[in-house]
Amino acid sequence: MAPNGHGGRGGGGRKANGRGGGGGGRGGGGRKPGNESTASDSAAPSEPAVLLRSNPSHIRNKMKRAQVMQRFRKEKKDVKKATQAKRKREAEELGENAPAKLEPRTIDNTREPEVTMVATEGDDEIAGDEQDDEFAQIFANVETPKLMITTRPFPSGELFHFIRDLLSLVPNAFYYKRGTFDIKEIVQFATNKEFTHLIVLSEKSKVCNGMLVSRLPEGPTAFFKVTNVKLNDDIKDHARRTDHQPELILNNFSTRLGHRVGRFLGSLFRHEPEFKGRQVVTFHNQRDFIFVRHHRYVFENEKKARLQEIGPRFTLKLRWLQQGTFDTKFGEYEWIHKQHQLDTSRRKFHL
């Protein structure tokens, strides 16, 4: 039997400079008084630090893992706020010498330059073309637009819901049953009835997927692919249209082709808006997709306003533009979308 104090399991044989001692162990007082300040204490932190260093998915406890992620999101938000406040402070201190505001790189602002880009104002050549093109009489309010809307032969019942909303979008538009007539016969009929435009809708799987628009009687004619159709009744808290003539916004048509397409779409409306109705129809071009929206602006008070959508909403994509009325055999195309020739870059747009 081992004597007391000589290394037995219950004895006191561990030396005094062990873990619990005062000779520099982990819990001891070995740190010198002069070294208590650290680098983090010497300089006050200007921004909060994000504590999360790795993916917390290894934490098996669900509640603990959620707490870690919640703390990480809060700290990340605090860092973002502190950085924004610091930049704002520096901009106010520097005044005119402040660095330019950083903007994210997007496909839109890195667009490849187009040879046919036109200026919004001050281009005499564009102004001269506008006075002599097929839409000049409508934009000068000399001629009132009158639209005839029809469909493909034997349309489905679902297509008529879109036609109903389209009639509410465009003033002075009328629906005519297609029957078995050819488009050339319909063009002649519409011209005799003094219509200024003909719209022919196509569909696939009971959803509108194409729109042929022709300016009567001499063209041009354009075909658009239609996507993302949302009817009035499918829009939450949508407003009701009134009989007032809407305002028209044609936005971001920046090339010669885009300028012509924008004027083509603008010729569907009379250019004498009745501001009392507070209704706006917008054709917004972005990356060659034309977004069609119909809103009413509502004044909350003297300084604040909001938009209430009326509908419908849909997206147009130009497929071809042809001189004259519809002619598949002898018609001359001003522009036609050829994917492998034109879509050579994601940053190249045509409208």
- Residue 53's pLDDT is 61
Q: Where are the beta strands (DSSP E) in the chain?
A: 147-151, 173-175, 197-204, 207-215, 221-230, 247-251, 279-286, 289-299, 305-309, 313-322, 333-336
The pLDDT tens digits of the residues spanning 303-342 come to 889 999 998 999 999 999 999 888 877 888 899 888 777 7
Within-domain flag for 90: no
Within-domain flag for 186: yes
Q: How far apart are CA 196 and CA 268, in angstroms?
A: 9
Q: How far apart are CA 134 and CA 148, in angstroms?
A: 18
**Tokens found for residue 258:** 């885009």
Q: How far apart are CA 298 and CA 120, in angstroms?
A: 29
- pLDDT per position in the chain (351 positions), as tens? 444 444 444 444 444 444 444 444 444 444 444 444 444 444 444 545 555 566 788 888 999 999 989 998 999 999 999 998 998 888 888 888 887 777 888 887 778 877 777 776 667 777 777 888 889 999 999 999 999 999 999 999 999 999 999 999 999 999 999 988 999 999 999 999 999 999 999 999 899 999 999 999 988 999 999 999 999 999 998 989 999 999 999 999 988 889 999 999 999 999 999 999 999 999 999 988 999 999 999 998 888 899 999 989 999 999 999 998 888 778 888 998 887 777 777 888 888
Q: How far apart are CA 267 and CA 269, in angstroms?
A: 5
Within-domain flag for 282: yes
What single string gives the DSSP state of each residue in 66-103?
A: HHHHHHHHHHHHHHHHHHHHHHHHHHHHHGGGSPPPP-
- Residue 350's pLDDT is 84
Within-domain flag for 25: no
The pLDDT tens digits of the residues spanning 88-130 come to 888 888 888 887 777 888 887 778 877 777 776 667 777 777 8
- Residue 196's pLDDT is 94
Within-domain flag for 207: yes
Within-domain flag for 244: yes
127: exposed, middle or buried (Cβ count in 10 Å: 0-12, 13-18, 19+) = exposed
Tally of domains in the chain: 1
260 lies in which domain range? 124-342
- Pairing state between β 197-204 and 147-151: parallel
DSSP H or E stretch at residue 125: helix 124-132
- Residue 294's pLDDT is 95
Question: Reduced to 3 states, what is the DSSP secondary structure of residue 291?
Answer: strand
Within-domain flag for 22: no
- Residue 97's pLDDT is 81
- Residue 51's pLDDT is 55
Residue 151 CA, distance from chain mean position: 29
The closest alpha carbon to 221, from 250, 260, 277, 252, belongs to: 260
User: Domain with 314 in it: what CATH number?
Assistant: 3.40.50.10480
- Residue 302's pLDDT is 85
Q: How far apart are CA 183 and CA 189, in angstroms?
A: 10
State phi, psi for 21 to the nearest 5 degrees. -80, -175
- Residue 80's pLDDT is 92
Question: Reduced to 3 states, what is the DSSP secondary structure of residue 148?
Answer: strand
- Residue 104's pLDDT is 84
Within-domain flag for 64: no
Whether the Cβ atoms of residue 285 and residue 249 lie closer than 8 Å to each other: no
Q: How far apart are CA 168 and CA 231, in angstroms?
A: 11
Q: How far apart are CA 205 and CA 229, in angstroms?
A: 13
Rg (CA), the chain: 35
